[in-house]
A and B are shown apart, each in its own frame.
Chain A
Amino acid sequence: AQKVTQAQTEISVVEKEDVTLDCVYETRDTTYYLFWYKQPPSGELVFLIRRNSFDEQNEISGRYSWNFQKSTSSFNFTITASQVVDSAVYFCALYDYKLSFGAGTTVTVRA
């Protein structure tokens, strides 16, 4: 069974639209970490955010925001007013006893 599920394979939007990426995770541990990474066309993954299981405070950082809900085991990510430079593959990841990545969501922002 997938530990991290990113149900959206691809999302295509026009610039300035908002984009929300879904991430659902599965773990039996009470202590764990959640991550979002961005993989631009250049290939390297870039860290965006982490949350530990005891911190459900949602966060806004510029055009990015994250919604962590333990009750639904979800850690969703929203890009507000998307830009072409946001085009990338976005990975959600979970660390409980090992680091598990979701399959990724490809976001394409068209000008």
Chain B
Amino acid sequence: DGGITQSPKYLFRKEGQNVTLSCEQNLNHDAMYWYRQDPGQGLRLIYYSQIVNDFQKGDIAEGYSVSREKKESFPLTVTSAQKNPTAFYLCASSTGQGAKSGEKLFFGSGTQLSVL
């Protein structure tokens, strides 16, 4: 089945530690996105990539980094500079234009990151 796989499901970070969240898709989608979800808030865009080897900051990129070396993979690193990293992180993909052309997003099942 085609879809988006996020791992791990749960992740714990120690103070001063960088952690990387994995996102893999086999939908052959060009565009990929990372969102952060906090309780009682909508999703907020962290980074997005519309093509391999290119990505742009979203609304809350500080303290995060990404790479897009392969079409199917878009890992997110939560760095020690992110002072409040506890949240639910969702990865998504779309064929290319994304919401701009009314395209729907396909989402993974998320990673819950907590600080020890």
Residues of A within 8 A of B (CB): 4, 9, 33, 35, 37, 42-47, 50, 52, 91, 93, 95, 98-104
Contact = CB atoms under 8 A, between A and B. Distances in A.
B107 interface: yes
A104 B106 CA distance: 18
B109 A95 contact: no
B38 to A, nearest CB: 10
Given A42-B109, A44-B109, A35 B99 contact: yes
A12 B80 CA distance: 39
A91 B42 CA distance: 8
Interface residues of B, number: 21
B98 interface: yes
A101 B105 contact: no
Contacts of B106: 47
Name A's interface SS. strand
Nearest to A106: B40
B19 interface: no
A84 B21 CA distance: 32
Interface in B41-94: 41-45, 88, 90, 92
A47 B104 contact: yes
15 contacts: A43-B90, A43-B110, A46-B107, A47-B104, A47-B105, A47-B106, A93-B42, A93-B99, A95-B99, A99-B99, A100-B42, A101-B44, A102-B42, A103-B40, A103-B41
B58 to A, nearest CB: 9
Nearest to B45: A99
A44 B92 CA distance: 9
Contacts of B42: 4, 91, 93, 100-104
Contacts of B100: 95
A38 to B, nearest CB: 10
B102 A9 contact: no
B105 to A, nearest CB: 7
B40 A9 contact: yes
A47 B95 CA distance: 14
A101 B99 contact: no
Contacts of A98: 45
